[in-house]
A and B are shown apart, each in its own frame.
Chain A
């Protein structure tokens, strides 16, 4: 890292002292659009609230379900077969974050084969997790 510290600092400085003003002013369009959007929705709903008559009764407050009286609760159970896949995906996807800094330097001079091998050791450990999940039958679709 000896050679990298000052270089990184220099890059940070040029970017930081660059033309901040013009960069952020392009966001003003987004800001104005956002304000317009909020104003439009607020006006529409406000007008509706002000102009419409408001006389609720228990029947009117029922959930609308094609004219049939609703039965049971609004929450329904679904069989979630894939949540284990989701867990596995979350772990593997996030561990891939370590590949990015590695990918920027592994071919650089001074790192050579050792760095390449190190990453494959890391991937090997992840693969053991996958092997375990496979042997436990988690990956088979029910």
Chain B
């Protein structure tokens, strides 16, 4: 198996995600980009797991998936709570704490 292609793909996904986190303004879209980064992590882990011929990488991928799900739930709850008080999900509108 040649892992290069898988690693290129995951690096690309990770870069797209990181770029989105930096330039997008909607909290939900920023959050989706983070999920993209986490999926890139999973792809890397599974690729390396196959490359090394042991299962550890796949086990980490399981944990990453659950971490991502927990983050989704907590994050969306926070975004809903911000939206209820401010009627906007834009990161630029979050300015109560500026000084």
Contact = CB atoms under 8 A, between A and B. Distances in A.
Decide if A and B touch, CB cutoff 8 A: yes
Interface residues of B, number: 17
Interface in A87-129: 87, 90-91, 93-95, 97-98, 101
A8 B73 CA distance: 35
A83 B53 contact: no
- Judged by DSSP, the binding face of B is helix
A83 B75 CA distance: 13
Given A16-B1, A94-B65, A101-B62, A87 B73 contact: yes
A9 interface: yes
A13 interface: yes
A91 B54 contact: no
A5 interface: yes
A91 B53 contact: no
Contacts of B59: 101
B70 to A, nearest CB: 7
12 contacts: A5-B54, A8-B54, A9-B53, A12-B50, A16-B50, A83-B76, A90-B72, A90-B73, A93-B69, A97-B62, A97-B65, A98-B62
Interface of A: 5, 8-9, 12-13, 16, 20, 83, 87, 90-91, 93-95, 97-98, 101
